[in-house]
Amino acid sequence: MPPVHILGIESSCDETAAAVVRSGEFTASSAIFSQLATHQPYGGVVPELASREHLRGIVPVVRQALKDAAQTPESIDAIAVTRGPGLAGALLVGVSYAKALAFALEKPLIAVNHLEGHIHAVLLEERQRGNRDLNFPVLALVVSGGHTHLYLCERAGPQEAAAWRYRLVGRTRDDAAGEAYDKVAKLLGLGYPGGPVIDRLAPHGDATAVNFTPAQIKGKDRSAAKESAPTFFDFSFSGIKTAVLRHVELNQMQAAILKRHMSLSEKAKPALEDYLAVCDKQTLDLIASFQHTVVEDLVGKTLRAAEEFQPAALFVTGGVAANSELRRCFEERSARAGLPVFFPSCPLSTDNAAMIAAAAYPRFLLKDFADPQFSAEPSMALG
């Protein structure tokens, strides 16, 4: 079969991205138009601004992806786009653009779930590395700013042209883990996004200094309310955010936080030294303790789910999968459990379009194309 080039388009949140992936196994290009600078002053993603920025970014980013891959609109075989979940206005930009492009070029259009994309980021990079011997089912933790979901993933057959099945076996009941990182960073005057900053600062604090209790949630599978039904592994991260706020208030840290916020907002791109210069030991200990609790919870629950479902491998993917402590802890604990664990590279952990094009490849082979009338689905579920 000749190589298949799929143009992927992603616009579910605050990154406008386009990529060309060859036959689900090689990233020919991956272009990202980041909106970080637009949202940074607001301490989070502003949906209206995100839609406007996607409109500004989508044409140049698609042109860039085609150029970097030495492809033309005519030479690609199909267009894949994120249908959901995500911000309604943001998704609509990508979906409308992809539909118009597919119609004008008479190319097949494939609608992809963003979470499925995060899972396929791992598969894409493993194939790119020549690792074609992955065994299934896989237990995938998708952990990002919008999601903390555990899926059991299986392919319907051994060949590439096989449909994927996803079974949700756990999810957050409130905030996503990345959302907790972002809210805690904002609360401590560290700016947005919080994950990468906390990741870099945590090793400078004592992770045992503050004793946070992770939420213990365990229940039966909601779809099968029988005694024998498997356990459902849910997460909750809103409690730890409130606990950090209480710690700040009890220890009267507010004045120092305000000073830190003012000092950091004067710098366009603060370096680690800038952050360290404005964080005292008490703050660094709080950051380290917060991260330790979140990581322990993510790793502990995922490994307990693995004991129950006995997968052949673990995938950890999504923006928070870029976290160094999470990676280290997963590697150590899954090695002890004799379970292989796979992560995407850091650029493919956060939102990108290569993962969308990769997830579309099996659908392309199965001719599972989108109805031209389909629309964006902000609350789209997977599985």
Rounded least distance, CB 319 to ligand KG4, Å: 2
What's the gap between Cα 93 and its chain centre?
Answer: 20
- How near is the Cβ of 32 to ligand KG4 at its closest, in Å? 10
CB nearer ligand KG4, residue 51 or residue 144: 144
Task: Decide: is 351 part of the binding site for ligand KG4 (CB under 6 A).
Answer: yes
Instruction: Determine the distance from the C-alpha atom of residue 318 to the mean position of all C-alpha atoms in its chain, rounded to a whole number.
Output: 2
Determine the interface stretch with ligand KG4 among 131-139, 163-171, 190-198, 229-237 (rule: CB under 6 A): 190-198
| Contact map string, positions 196 to 225, toward ligand KG4, x by CB under 6 A | x--x--------------------------
User: 35 vs 144, which CB is nearer to ligand KG4?
Assistant: 144
Helix runs in the chain, H state only: 36-39, 47-68, 88-105, 114-128, 177-187, 194-201, 238-250, 254-265, 272-277, 281-309, 324-336, 346-349, 354-365
Applying CB under 6 A, among 170, 189, 194, 214 the residue interacting with ligand KG4 is 194
Residue span binding ligand KG4 (CB under 6 A) among the ranges 149-157, 175-183, 240-248, 362-370: 175-183
Kindly indicate which of the ranges 1-9, 64-72, 164-172, 194-202 contains the residues binding ligand KG4, using the contact rule CB under 6 A.
194-202
Binding segment (CB under 6 A) for ligand KG4, from list 48-56, 76-84, 189-197, 242-250:
189-197
Inter-axis angle of helices 281-309 and 238-250, nearest 10: 160
Q: How far apart are CA 383 and CA 374, in angstroms?
A: 18
* Residue among 78 and 115 whose Cβ is closer to ligand KG4: 115
Residues that contact ligand KG4, how many (by CB under 6 A): 19
Site for ligand KG4 (CB under 6 A): which residue of 89, 137, 311, 318?
A: 318
Cβ–Cβ < 8 Å for 365, 161? yes
Residue nearest to Zn ion (CB): 144
Nearest by Cα to 73 from 42, 34, 100 = 100
**Cα–Cα distance, 242 to 25 (Å, whole number):** 43
Q: Are 290 and 212 in contact (CB under 8 A)?
A: yes
- Tell whether residue 144 is a contact of ligand KG4 (CB under 6 A): yes
Q: Which does 11 bind (CB under 5 to 8 A by kind): ligand KG4, Zn ion, none?
A: none
What is the C-alpha to C-alpha distance for residues 18 and 331, in angstroms, rounded to an integer?
Answer: 31
Measured CA to CA, the distance from residue 206 to residue 35 in angstroms comes to: 33
Q: What is the DSSP letter of 235?
A: B
Q: Choose the contact partner of 196 out of ligand KG4, Zn ion, none; CB within 5 to 8 A by kind.
A: ligand KG4
Where do contacts with Zn ion occur on this chain (CB under 5 A)? 144, 351
Residue 91, classed as helix, strand or coil, is: helix
Using CA atoms, how far residue 29 sits from 22, 62, 99, 100, 260, in Å, is 10, 10, 21, 22, 39
Q: Which does 193 bind (CB under 5 to 8 A by kind): ligand KG4, Zn ion, none?
A: ligand KG4
Among 24, 170, 178, 189, binds ligand KG4 (CB under 6 A): 178
Give me the residues that bind ligand KG4 (CB under 6 A), please: 13, 144-146, 178, 181-182, 193-196, 199, 318-320, 322-323, 350-351
